[in-house]
Structures are given as C-alpha cells and as structure tokens.
C-alpha cells in the first residue's frame, strides 16, 4: 500500500505563494508514488479535489456581524471544520497530515485532531503567524517582534489588524487559543523554508528539535522552462521587478529610485499600489508596467533582464521572486532582510539595506554595469531549487517514510 499524505491549506487554487507550494508538493508526491489528497475551505475558485464535498464551509471576515461571528468561531476551531476534517481522516486514513496556511479560514484544530489519532503532523510555515498575530511582523510599515514570546496583547495596543480594534481582538484571542505550548503539543515538525524563519521560531521559544529547514522548490514544468534559456546570449538593456505591488514589498521606494536612474525598469505584477503607481509614473519614460503575467511571461521578462530587484521591507521567507530570477540566470539586488540574503552571494547578486533609497540606487547601478556569469548563476540555482533533493528530504527526514 502506498504512503498517504493529506495536504491542508485554506485555499486550493493558485491564489498566492502558499497555494502554489501546496499544488507543487501535491504533484511532486503523486509523480513519485505517494498518494496525496487535499483538505481546504470551500471556495468558488478551488480546483477539483477528491474530498471537496467534505471541505469546511466558506467563512468571511467581511459582510456583516453574522459573518464575523462565524469566522471567529472558525479561528477557534468551532463549527463544521472539526466534523468535516474528521470525516476525511476516517475515509482517507493518511500517515501524514501536512499543514500549510491554515489559520483563520481553517484552524489549527485540524492538527490537533490528527495528532489525537497518532498521525504525524508536519506544518510548513509560509508566514510568521505563530509568532505574530498579524502574521507579517510589521508595525507602521517596519519590522516588529513585540509579540514573539508572550506579549500577544501588543496586537490590541497597536490595533495591528487593519487599524481595527475588533479585528485585532479576534487575532489576539486566536493567538491565546493556539499558543506555543498547544501548537508544539500537536505538531511533530515545524518546517521553515528559510534559516531566518527557523531562527525567529527559536527566538519565539519553540522547541529546536521540532524546527527544521527545507527550502521551497520549483515545480518540474517551470524548471524545464528555465533550463531552455540560452544564458550565453546578450541580455536586453533593462532590469525588472516581478512581484506584488504592495507596501511591504518596497516597490514604492524602487520606483522613486528608478525614476532618477538612466536604466529601463519593467514592472510585472499587480496589487493594491498598482493604480496609484501607474498614475504617479505615467510620464516616466524609463518605467514600464506590464501588469500580471502568466508563467511564460515571467520567464520571458526574467530571462531577458540584466538584473532583478527584490526591495522588500518585511521578513521575506524564501521568496520565489529571488529563486526564479536565479534559475533564469539573472542576478538579484535584494534587501538585506528576512530570508533574502541566504539566497544571494557575490556571484549571483548584491544585498542592500532596506528602507534606504541611496543604498538601493547604488546596488542597481553597480549591478547593471557589472559583467555576470549568467550560465553559472542558472546552473547553481537549478541544482539547488530542483525537486529531487527536496523530495528526498521530505520523504525521509520530515515524513519518516
């Protein structure tokens, strides 16, 4: 009988980085003889899944008091999520339950229910929710670690959740309910995609024996696209930003700097700042907005660029924006924050201090005028972020098959 893994994530479609990791992991396991199924929240955009009729009902934190009450119950593990998840466990009988992004729209109760049955529970951490009730360690746009150990009440004091006291109260209650001791009791392995995240988990008091590091990987289809790039060809005369257009990504600083530099910048992605930035830089001839691109479009932009810039101002974990650029043979100028500097050395890019526009400008200028070995950058990245080593570690060291 094949080994069986149940992947658990709040959504089951390519909504964001966490969802993409789940989809890639599901495919990787199935392609290598491991049975893999999914449990998620019901949602109109979900892909078809074997147990979709048993998914937890959809909840929303908007649309009135009734919705808020239902959503708050969900964060505490109340409502139908328990019965639905147990029904899947009864039918599927997995050896491993692999949690991903489950807070709020599902609940850590699923880990508890699996643990009570003697099922191995692995939890891949895509953000800092176990340490920070807000999840991103940001306060007024700057990194914050006030809540890491026990002072979770700071989320109330600073109204960290959207500046709202009620929303912050929900996050505070959720943090108290699913505290470190409870989470540790019900989780065998907390899987961190970066050394940086692992260090922060230890700083938050988590048991070192339960904290492991395993980088994300690129799915084989995308990896094959990057392998076809001719990295001996001359690069075009531009640099690029590929990612979400939101404040924590530092893209506003990047565009301010770019407007004063003589190099062309191509911006790929969408987000809450997109409309504002398009208007502000409409007359700037060296900044081009490409909007959201599909996978092929991302490969094309990255493979033609002389440089990719990742100017984040928050604790990035193991950002695909860096990984994909390197796999394309494109050097990266990245902020010295979170897991970004773990991916960059003198042979494949430069790091600079976040929040400092002058440092960003210098990093771009130096990188654009330097000769890079694009073929070697790609070779090392394709080996590092391929699926083979990831699968071996996952099956043997993490799942224990």
pLDDT(61) > 80: no
pLDDT of residue 323: 94
CA gap 230, 67 in Å, rounded: 52
- pLDDT tens digits, 260-312: 999 999 999 999 999 999 999 999 999 999 999 998 999 999 999 999 999 99
Q: What is the mean pLDDT of residues 199-220?
A: 94
Helices assigned H by DSSP within 108-250: 109-116, 154-157, 165-177, 180-186, 195-203, 220-227
Strands 35-39 and 264-268 come out as: unpaired
pLDDT(111) > 90: yes
CA gap 290, 357 in Å, rounded: 23
- pLDDT tens digits, 136-191: 999 988 899 999 977 899 999 999 998 889 889 889 999 999 999 999 999 999 99
pLDDT of residue 86: 98
Tokens of 382: 């394709």
| Claim to verify: residue 43 and residue 185 sit in the same structural domain | yes
| Claim to verify: residue 205 and residue 281 sit in the same structural domain | no
CA gap 240, 330 in Å, rounded: 10
| Claim to verify: residue 91 and residue 20 sit in the same structural domain | yes
pLDDT(62) > 90: no
| Claim to verify: residue 103 and residue 196 sit in the same structural domain | yes
Q: What is the mean pLDDT of residues 220-236?
A: 92
| Claim to verify: residue 243 and residue 186 sit in the same structural domain | no
| Claim to verify: residue 224 and residue 196 sit in the same structural domain | no
pLDDT of residue 60: 85
Output phi, psi for 292, to 5 deg.
-70, 135
- pLDDT tens digits, 11-34: 999 888 899 899 999 999 999 999
| Claim to verify: residue 394 and residue 378 sit in the same structural domain | no
Provide the number of structural domains found in the chain: 2
User: Is residue 219 very low, low, confident or very high in pLDDT (cuts 50, 70, 90)?
Assistant: confident
pLDDT of residue 2: 83
Tokens of 248: 């924590």
| Claim to verify: residue 368 and residue 390 sit in the same structural domain | no
User: Is residue 220 very low, low, confident or very high in pLDDT (cuts 50, 70, 90)?
Assistant: confident
- pLDDT tens digits, 327-370: 999 999 999 999 999 999 999 999 999 999 999 999 999 999 99
| Claim to verify: residue 288 and residue 176 sit in the same structural domain | no
Q: What is the mean pLDDT of residues 190-198?
A: 97
| Claim to verify: residue 182 and residue 292 sit in the same structural domain | no
| Claim to verify: residue 124 and residue 253 sit in the same structural domain | no
CA gap 136, 348 in Å, rounded: 27
CATH number of 392's domain: 3.40.50.2000
Please give the share of the chain, as a percent, with pLDDT higher than 90: 84
Q: What is the mean pLDDT of residues 316-328?
A: 94
| Claim to verify: residue 213 and residue 350 sit in the same structural domain | no
pLDDT(63) > 80: no
| pLDDT top residue among 320 and 376 | 376
Asked whether the CA dihedral 348, 354, 358, 359 is positive or negative, the reply is negative
DSSP result, 33-74: T-EEEEE-B--TTPPP-TTGGGSBPP--SSSSHHHHHHHHHH
The residue range of the domain holding 224 is 220-384
């Amino acid at each position: 009988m094949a080994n069986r893994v149940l992947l658990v994530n709040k959504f089951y479609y390519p909504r964001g980085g966490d969802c993409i990791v789940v989809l890639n992991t599901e495919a990787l396991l199935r392609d290598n003889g491991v049975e893999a199924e999914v449990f998620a929240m019901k949602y109109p955009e979900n892909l078809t899944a074997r147990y979709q009729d048993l998914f937890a009902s959809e909840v929303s934190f908007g649309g009135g008091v009734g919705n808020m009450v239902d959503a708050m119950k969900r964060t505490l593990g109340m409502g139908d999520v328990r019965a639905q998840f147990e029904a899947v466990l009864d039918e599927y009988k997995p050896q491993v339950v692999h949690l991903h992004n489950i807070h709020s729209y599902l609940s850590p109760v699923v880990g508890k229910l699996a643990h009570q049955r003697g099922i191995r529970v692995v939890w891949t951490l895509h953000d800092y929710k176990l340490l920070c009730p807000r999840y991103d360690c940001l306060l007024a746009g700057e990194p914050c670690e006030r809540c890491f150990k026990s002072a979770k009440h700071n989320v109330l004091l600073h109204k960290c959740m959207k500046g709202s006291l009620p929303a912050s109260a929900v996050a505070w209650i959720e943090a108290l309910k699913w505290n470190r001791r409870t989470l540790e009791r019900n989780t065998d392995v907390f899987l961190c995609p970066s050394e940086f995240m692992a260090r922060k988990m230890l700083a938050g008091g988590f048991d070192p024996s339960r904290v492991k590091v395993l980088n994300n990987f690129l799915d084989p289809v995308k990896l094959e696209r990057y392998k076809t790039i001719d990295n001996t060809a001359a690069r075009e005369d531009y640099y690029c930003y590929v990612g979400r257009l939101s404040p924590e990504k530092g893209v506003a600083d990047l565009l301010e700097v770019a407007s004063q530099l003589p190099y062309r910048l191509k911006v790929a992605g969408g987000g809450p700042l997109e409309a504002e930035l398009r208007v502000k830089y409409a007359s700037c001839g060296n900044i081009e907005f490409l909007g959201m691109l599909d996978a092929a479009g991302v490969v094309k932009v990255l493979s033609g660029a002389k440089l990719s810039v990742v100017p984040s101002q928050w604790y990035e974990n193991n950002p695909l924006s860096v990984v994909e650029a390197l796999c394309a043979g494109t050097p990266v100028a990245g902020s010295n924050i979170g897991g970004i500097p773990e991916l960059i050395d003198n042979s494949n890019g430069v790091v600079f201090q976040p929040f400092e526009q002058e440092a960003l400008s210098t990093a771009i200028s130096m990188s654009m005028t330097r000769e890079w070995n694009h073929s070697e950058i790609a070779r090392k990245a394709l080996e590092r972020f391929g699926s083979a080593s990831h699968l071996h570690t996952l099956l043997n060291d993490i799942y224990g098959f």
